[in-house]
């Protein structure tokens, strides 16, 4: 057996450079690049290896480990999980900064390879700088924190271990059912050690994402249940998009007359005006989709994990409704006693369509969906129509930005009030041009995610980031990153004076405004941040808008700029588009406040509507 002598770090990098994938019929690197911040624990060995391959595996310098890992996640989302980015940190705080991003990728079922420096395997110089010592277990380091937020976790304490570990990490990240972040801790003294690696380990390998077919008996059961339905409803989740099943699901819906609602992650599988589309479902959903869900007798859930924002904490469905759950992940498919059809969305829907040939829902149900969606669009038009109000609403801003956006532009947002306002009000013009990170609702994903999308788009349309003032202040340094790297995005900052949407929830459940809006916090005086000047200080082009007319002009200007452009506008903190489903959150059982007592009484009525595990 022929071998080559390399350090563990050199071997790791060489292996990663020899992994490939097929995207739209073309062979591409599986790992498109690496976001990295060097420090002790990775700068001496890994940087030496990465510098030598920088034209093959480009390294992009981040400003914050969390944000660069979020950018890596967004890149994988933009590529629909067919290509992966790597995030690299030193030991200690650098590594821990990525835990939130790992949790976000884990919740969203997104592949990402995280490499973090670790303490010395030989323990000779212990305790080293940034080492957190566990008195009763010296094998524990801060990297053990990633065990809770990783699909695959390993620590490399001997150079030979990567031979078995790296293929398992890749297999996990490419498995549609197990998909999520893979974390590998790299003991810093192990990185330097040389080993005679088999040359076969570095053989170029082309990976393909498996498409597991469903069990034929489960398909037959699903066909029988669907045929028995009088009022079926499709819920299209993120798995539809990651499977590439958008057209198959949309055609199925039209052919069989089944109305099609969408989850947060599933939004964008079809255009807004697709004939089967009835809108987003759930807590930040539409009145049309929620109405259809409440009347449906069979729910065909495709590629969704049925989280509480989709199900309205399990209040939007009739208690007698039956579920057919199609999912590549067995865990997600078997929730709530659904008829679990475990398999790839495209393969499963194709088999179902063939078996259901000739079957179609009564036109009255299909037409009910069309009528409900027509009413929803009229409501949106009303709320998005510009007014003479001194301060515009989120709906006004979303409506204008959406109208201005070109079909190939991608909109990215995450936390606060914008998820609800864009899930409801952003009308998709082209499939796969919308990214709302709301599986984990990470404040700060917006701008970091925009960097990942801008990198993935390679100039094919603009990347539009919509972000509230709270999330902007929490994480904005990747404005600077995109200026440095030339990945332009357009950032629209909606300044409503704090954490307005959580203030809304606080008030709705009976507590007076407290510590959410800046004016209601322990501050000397409320004051406004000049977001345009702040962005300019990082090299971005920027404008502040005083009106909706200013916003339209600024958006037209933003198309002409040569770098990341930030537009800010003050928005109302109390106006929201209706259509929400109920949401179960804790409300005090005992309180001296009459408003809280009333909120608790109302919340008890919500809980009575919940389906409990059936």
Helix (H, G, I), strand (E, B) or coil at 20: strand
What domains can you pick out in the chain, each with its CATH number? Answer: 3-207 (3.40.50.970), 216-375 (3.40.50.1220), 385-570 (3.40.50.970)
Among residues 529, 613, 526, 517, the alpha carbon closest in space to that of 569 is found at 529
pLDDT per residue over 326-339, tens digit each?
999 999 999 988 99
Query: From edge to edge, which strands make up the β-sheet containing 152-156?
Result: 59-61, 31-36, 84-89, 112-118, 181-187, 152-156
Burial 10-36 (b: 16+ CB within 10 A, else e): bbbbbbbbbbbbeeeeeeebbbbbbbb
pLDDT per residue over 107-135, tens digit each?
999 999 999 999 999 999 999 999 999 99
Mean pLDDT of the chain: 97
* Tokens of residue 125, six digits: 């110089």
Q: Report the DSSP pairing between strands 181-187 and 232-236.
A: unpaired
pLDDT per residue over 303-315, tens digit each?
999 999 999 999 9
* Tokens of residue 458, six digits: 């390679």
Spatial distance between the Cα atoms of 44 and 62, rounded to a whole number of angstroms: 18
* Tokens of residue 507, six digits: 């008030």
Q: Kindly write down the DSSP assignment for every residue of 394-435, as one continuous string.
A: HHHHHHHHHHHS-TT-EEEE-STTHHHHHHHH---SSTT-EE
DSSP conformational letter for 122: S
Place of tokens 């109208």: 403
Give strand ranges (E) for 167-288.
Answer: 181-187, 194-198, 205-207, 232-236, 260-262, 277-280
Please state the φ and ψ torsions of residue 229, each to the nearest 5 degrees. Answer: -75, 140
Handedness of CA 469, 474, 480, 486 (dihedral sign): negative
State the average pLDDT over residues 162-188: 97
* Tokens of residue 487, six digits: 């990945």
Give strand ranges (E) for 431-532.
Answer: 434-436, 463-468, 490-495
Over its C-alpha atoms, the chain yields an Rg (Å, rounded) of 25
Helix (H, G, I), strand (E, B) or coil at 587: coil
pLDDT per residue over 37-74, tens digit each?
999 999 999 999 999 999 999 999 999 999 999 999 99
- Check residue 526 and give its pLDDT: 84
| Pair 386, 396: CB distance under 8 Å | yes
C-alpha neighbours within 13 Å on the C-beta side of residue 392: 26
State the average pLDDT over residues 521-547: 95
Spatial distance between the Cα atoms of 492 and 413, rounded to a whole number of angstroms: 10
Q: How many residues belong to the chain?
A: 614
| Pair 23, 171: CB distance under 8 Å | no
Does residue 614 carry a pLDDT above 60? no
Spatial distance between the Cα atoms of 105 and 322, rounded to a whole number of angstroms: 30
- Check residue 613 and give its pLDDT: 63
State the average pLDDT over residues 258-265: 98
| Pair 267, 261: CB distance under 8 Å | no
pLDDT per residue over 468-508, tens digit each?
999 999 999 999 999 999 999 999 999 999 999 999 999 99
pLDDT per residue over 414-464, tens digit each?
999 999 999 999 999 999 999 999 999 999 999 999 999 999 999 999 999
Who's near 54: CB < 8 A, 6+ residues apart?
Answer: none
Does residue 540 carry a pLDDT above 70? yes
Spatial distance between the Cα atoms of 361 and 87, rounded to a whole number of angstroms: 48
- Check residue 197 and give its pLDDT: 98
Does residue 550 carry a pLDDT above 90? yes
């Amino acid at each position: 057996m022929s071998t080559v002598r390399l350090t563990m770090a050199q071997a790791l990098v060489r292996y990663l450079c020899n992994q490939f994938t097929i995207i739209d019929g073309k062979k591409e690197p599986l790992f498109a690049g690496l976001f990295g911040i060097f420090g002790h624990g990775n700068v001496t060995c890994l940087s030496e290896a990465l510098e030598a391959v920088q034209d093959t595996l480009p390294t992009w310098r981040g400003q914050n480990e969390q944000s660069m890992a979020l950018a890596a996640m967004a890149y994988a989302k933009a590529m629909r999980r067919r290509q992966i980015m790597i995030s690299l940190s030193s030991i200690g705080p650098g590594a821990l900064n990525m835990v939130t991003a790992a949790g976000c990728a884990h919740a969203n079922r997104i592949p990402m390879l995280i490499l973090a420096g670790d303490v010395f395997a030989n323990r000779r110089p212990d305790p080293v700088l940034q080492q957190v010592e566990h008195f009763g277990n010296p094998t524990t380091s801060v990297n053990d924190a990633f065990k809770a937020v990783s699909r695959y976790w390993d620590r490399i304490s001997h150079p030979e271990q990567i031979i078995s570990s790296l293929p398992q990490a890749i297999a996990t990240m490419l498995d549609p059912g197990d998909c999520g972040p893979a974390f590998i801790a790299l003991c810093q003294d192990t990185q330097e050690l040389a080993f005679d690696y088999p040359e076969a380990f570095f053989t170029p390998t082309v990976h393909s994402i498996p498409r597991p077919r469903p069990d034929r008996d489960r398909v037959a059961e699903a066909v029988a249940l669907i045929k028995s339905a009088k009022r079926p409803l499709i819920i299209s989740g993120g798995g539809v998009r990651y499977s590439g099943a958008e057209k198959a699901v949309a055609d199925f819906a039209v052919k069989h007359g089944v109305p099609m609602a969408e989850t947060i992650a599933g939004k964008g599988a079809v255009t807004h005006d697709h004939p089967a589309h009835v809108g987003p479902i759930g807590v930040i959903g539409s009145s049309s989709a929620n109405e259809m869900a409440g009347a449906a007798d069979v729910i065909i859930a495709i590629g969704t994990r049925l989280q509480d924002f989709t199900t309205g904490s399990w209040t939007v469905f009739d208690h007698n409704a039956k579920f057919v759950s199609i999912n590549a992940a067995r865990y997600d498919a078997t929730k709530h006693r659904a008829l679990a059809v475990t398999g790839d969305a495209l393969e499963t829907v194709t088999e179902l369509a063939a078996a259901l040939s000739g079957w179609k829902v009564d036109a009255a149900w299909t037409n009910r969906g069309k009528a409900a969606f027509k009413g929803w669009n009229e409501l949106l038009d009303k709320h998005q129509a510009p007014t003479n109000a001194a301060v515009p609403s989120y709906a006004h801003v979303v409506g204008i930005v959406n109208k201005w956006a070109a079909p190939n532009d991608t909109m990215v947002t995450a936390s606060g009030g914008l998820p609800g306002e864009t899930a409801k009000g952003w009308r998709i013009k082209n499939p796969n041009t919308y990214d709302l990170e709301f599986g984990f609702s990470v404040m700060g994903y917006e701008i970091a995610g925009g960097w990942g999308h801008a990198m993935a788009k390679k100039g094919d349309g603009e990347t539009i980031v919509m972000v509230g003032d709270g999330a902007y202040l929490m994480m904005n340094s990747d404005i600077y990153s995109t200026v440095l790297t030339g990945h332009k995005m357009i950032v629209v900052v909606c300044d409503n004076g704090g954490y307005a949407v959580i203030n809304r929830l606080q008030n709705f459940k009976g507590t007076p405004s407290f510590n959410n809006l800046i004016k209601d916090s322990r501050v000397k005086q409320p004051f406004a941040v000049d977001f345009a000047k702040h962005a300019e200080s990082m090299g971005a082009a920027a404008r502040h808008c005083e009106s909706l007319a200013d916003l339209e002009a600024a958006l037209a200007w933003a198309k002409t700029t040569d770098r990341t452009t930030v537009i800010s506008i003050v928005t109302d903190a109390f106006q929201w588009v209706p259509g929400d489903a109920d949401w179960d959150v804790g409300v005090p059982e005992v309180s001296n406040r009459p408003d809280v007592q009333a909120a608790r009484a109302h919340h008890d009525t919500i809980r009575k509507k919940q389906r409990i595990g059936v």
